[in-house]
Amino acid sequence: MSKESVSSHVSVYAGIDVSAATLAVAVQREDRAGFEQRQFANSGMGHKQLIDWLLKGGEIVRVSLEATGIYSLDVALAMDLAENIEVSVLNPKIANRFAQTLRRSKTDAADAVALAEYSRRMQFVAWKRPSRVELELRAISRHIVALTDEHTRLNNRLHAAEASATTPRCVRQDLKHSINALKKRVVRLRKAASELVELNETLAMKFKQLIEIPGIAEASALQLLGELAPLDPEMTARQWVAHSGLDPAQQVSGSSVHKPSRISRHGNRYLRRALYMPALVGVRFDPHLKAFYLQLQARHKTKLQALMAVARKLLHAIYGIFKSGTHYDGRKLFPQLGAV
């Protein structure tokens, strides 16, 4: 039976709360009251045991789990390959809002039950497995982020070491050696990422579209593509924004609580980070982004609020050019604004 045809025959609903080491699982079967709960290791063997347990009755199983980065990826991939299992990978913000309507406590077991209820009650949206090259590109781009952070930490340590007369020369030299080695590793990884992109026609086209946008150079384009390429092609621009955590979160309650709006941050921190520098550069060199940025400040938005709004606009622009196959045009993104 194909994955597309199982939905109308679902009789088992499962939720999985994913952590680095374990999978807390809750199952609700149509012919039984209450929930069955088990815990499995978040490993290759644990995934096999989980799948065997879910399918022990020979029924069709619908599973919901939160997107928790690399920890949820392997279990989602394993279940996607299994016959008679359909899987949905949820934005943590959506899952958390749903869970808040059900639970009184916050535990792994309670979260798994809430996700099983989500599987049973809510409209099902099947997870679409990213391609191998998309997953490889994302892994490389995220490793580059980790090395870049380490490079920053070492630079700070070197600055402190050079500021002190008590630091021996061997320590300063070792720090410089480590920094240079990190630079070379980042260069090699970016080359590997570029080669992956060049060998894939779709990724190569999207890469070219990205670097045409003011503020996005090759390094930023690789980081953005690493995060955007694996996303479900059926996602909307609004879902992209929610996935990035750039959606505005307002805190208003009656007449006493009215805090400034901020971004939710309930989403992909790598994508937010990849958009930050292009937004910062874009407001300097793209007249349309600059006009939008200044207009927001004129409306008493802080510089950071305005910059996050620019990042959100850029994400909308990228979504638009990817979907339409066209080139970036700031006039279309901001038709109401004149250049300044």
pLDDT digits (tens, 9 = 90+) for 216-235: 999 999 999 999 999 988 88
Whether residues 224 and 147 share a domain: the answer is: yes
Distance CA 103, CA 87 (A): 23
Whether residue 275 is predicted with pLDDT greater than 80 in this model: the reply is: yes
Contacts of 181 (CB under 8 A, 6+ apart): none
Domain end, chosen from 228, 246, 266, is at 228
The pLDDT assigned to 163 comes to 96
In a domain, 338, yes or no: no
Distance CA 340, CA 294 (A): 9
pLDDT digits (tens, 9 = 90+) for 210-221: 999 999 999 999
In a domain, 32, yes or no: yes
The pLDDT assigned to 235 comes to 87
In a domain, 340, yes or no: no
Report the share of the chain in percent with pLDDT over 70. 91
Report the share of the chain in percent with pLDDT over 90. 69
Whether residues 24 and 117 share a domain: the answer is: yes
Contacts of 105 (CB under 8 A, 6+ apart): none
Whether residues 96 and 179 share a domain: the answer is: no
Domain end, chosen from 182, 210, 228, is at 228
Whether residues 207 and 101 share a domain: the answer is: no
Q: Which of 68-82, 90-104, 305-319 has the lowest mean pLDDT?
A: 90-104
The identity of residue 154, as a single letter, is L
Strands 60-66 and 10-18: parallel
In a domain, 127, yes or no: no
pTM summary value: 0.82
Whether residues 172 and 64 share a domain: the answer is: no
Domain end, chosen from 99, 121, 143, is at 121
In a domain, 12, yes or no: yes
In a domain, 11, yes or no: yes
Q: How many CA atoms lie within 13 A of 60 on its CB side?
A: 14
CATH label of the domain that carries residue 93: 3.30.420.40
State which H helix or E strand residue 258 sits in. strand 257-263
Distance CA 71, CA 78 (A): 12
| Banded pLDDT at 252 (limits 50, 70, 90) | very low
Whether residues 41 and 106 share a domain: the answer is: yes
Domain containing residue 137 = 132-228
Whether residues 208 and 280 share a domain: the answer is: no
In a domain, 126, yes or no: no
Question: Where are the alpha helices (H) located in the chain, listed in sequence order?
Answer: 44-54, 70-81, 92-100, 108-121, 132-163, 169-198, 201-211, 218-228, 237-244, 269-285, 287-298, 303-324, 330-333
- Select from 318, 246, 329 the least CA-distant residue to 288: 329
From the CB of residue 214, how many other CB atoms can be counted at a distance below 10 Å? 18
In a domain, 101, yes or no: yes
Q: How many domains does the chain have?
A: 3
Whether residues 323 and 250 share a domain: the answer is: yes
For the ranges 21-30, 65-74, 251-260, the one whose mean pLDDT is highest:
21-30
Whether residues 11 and 112 share a domain: the answer is: yes
Whether residues 104 and 16 share a domain: the answer is: yes
Whether residues 116 and 136 share a domain: the answer is: no
Whether residue 253 is predicted with pLDDT greater than 70 in this model: the reply is: no
pLDDT digits (tens, 9 = 90+) for 187-212: 999 999 999 999 999 999 999 999 99
Whether residues 154 and 113 share a domain: the answer is: no
Handedness of CA 131, 137, 142, 143 (dihedral sign): positive
Between 209 and 9, residue with greater pLDDT: 209
